[in-house]
Amino acid sequence: MKLGTNDLKIMITECVQRILEYHGAIDDSFEKLAEIILKKLKTEKKFTLTPEEINVYYPYSVITKPLNVQCIHLDKAIAAYNPATNTLRVSPITQLYKDEYFISVIIHELTHFVNNTESDEAFLRHNYPNFGNDTNEETAKKIAYLFDFSEMAARVSQFKWALKARKKNGYRPVYKLSAFDNITRLSEMRSLIETINADVFPESEEEPLSLVELLLYRRGFHKTAMDGRDRELNISKNDFEKTKAAIVRKMAKAYRDYYSKIAKTFYDETN
């Protein structure tokens, strides 16, 4: 049996997923790495962590590339990781937050760093074409983002360190997961599943693409980018409901798996 590049990437991706599925969040040693980044950012706006510095706290494979860190204005985020350049960008606004909260945000981005490193860049996101339906396009982007494996893993990690931060600051325990919805995004994920379930097939060709169609196009575009094979993605009205049901099942399973990690983390850190 001969394995192609796409087959290898799938296998590597599965290995990374199993690492984080077992642990629920990245290893505790990354907290020290986040603290080093925080300390450096208080005096430097741009620096590089060498592989030797990272490997002291990196518990998985051996790091061979440096991690770039920049303090730079970001439009819609506190921090962001760019896998193409292996750069962690942090907004100056972080100076307004407590150190513990800042660390939880950095832990989120370091989870993406782990995914990108361990998967040999298999988690790189693609720039999808725009199909001219602003409302459904934005919803499709939200689904792709919130249900992305790497993003869910990053939110689990951030959630864990946000709970740790509450302990360090001496806050009273919180007994409702909804109090952390700005991190977990659980309610938004449930809402998106309901939105897909309510989607309807366009009655005419003049109508914009349905949400289900857009998700199929994005999936096909992603596969073409991976293996180079062109795909014709036309869905009939008869197949629409079956396709929608399959998408809902997949999203619901992803939500249940994600929720179980969040719930386990919540229990472990509050008991």
Strands 87-90, 67-71: pairing is parallel
Judge residue 99's burial from the number of C-beta atoms within 10 Å of its C-beta, 0-12 exposed, 13-18 middle, 19 or more buried.
middle
User: Could you report the per-residue pLDDT of 189-211, keeping only the tens digit for each?
Assistant: 999 999 999 999 988 877 888 89
Identify which has the larger pLDDT, 2 or 169. Answer: 169
Model pTM score: 0.83
- CA nearest 12: which of 172, 173, 123, 106? 123
> Over the chain, what is the mean pLDDT?
83
**Which fold does the domain 1-124 belong to in CATH?**
Zincin-like (3.30.2010)
Q: By percentage, how much of the chain surpasses pLDDT 70?
A: 79
CB 152 within 8 A of CB 254: yes
Q: What pLDDT score was predicted for residue 125?
A: 60
Q: Which band of pLDDT confidence, cut at 50, 70 and 90, is reported for residue 226? A: low
Query: Helix 30-41 to helix 149-168 angle, to the nearest 10 degrees?
Result: 80
- Whether the pLDDT of residue 124 is over 80: the answer is no
| CA 103 – CA 93 distance, rounded (Å) | 14
User: Could you report the per-residue pLDDT of 145-180, keeping only the tens digit for each?
Assistant: 999 989 999 999 999 999 988 887 777 777 788 889
* Stretch(es) of the chain classified as CATH 3.30.2010: 1-124
Q: What pLDDT score was predicted for residue 51?
A: 96
Q: CA 93, 97, 98, 99 torsion: positive or negative?
A: negative
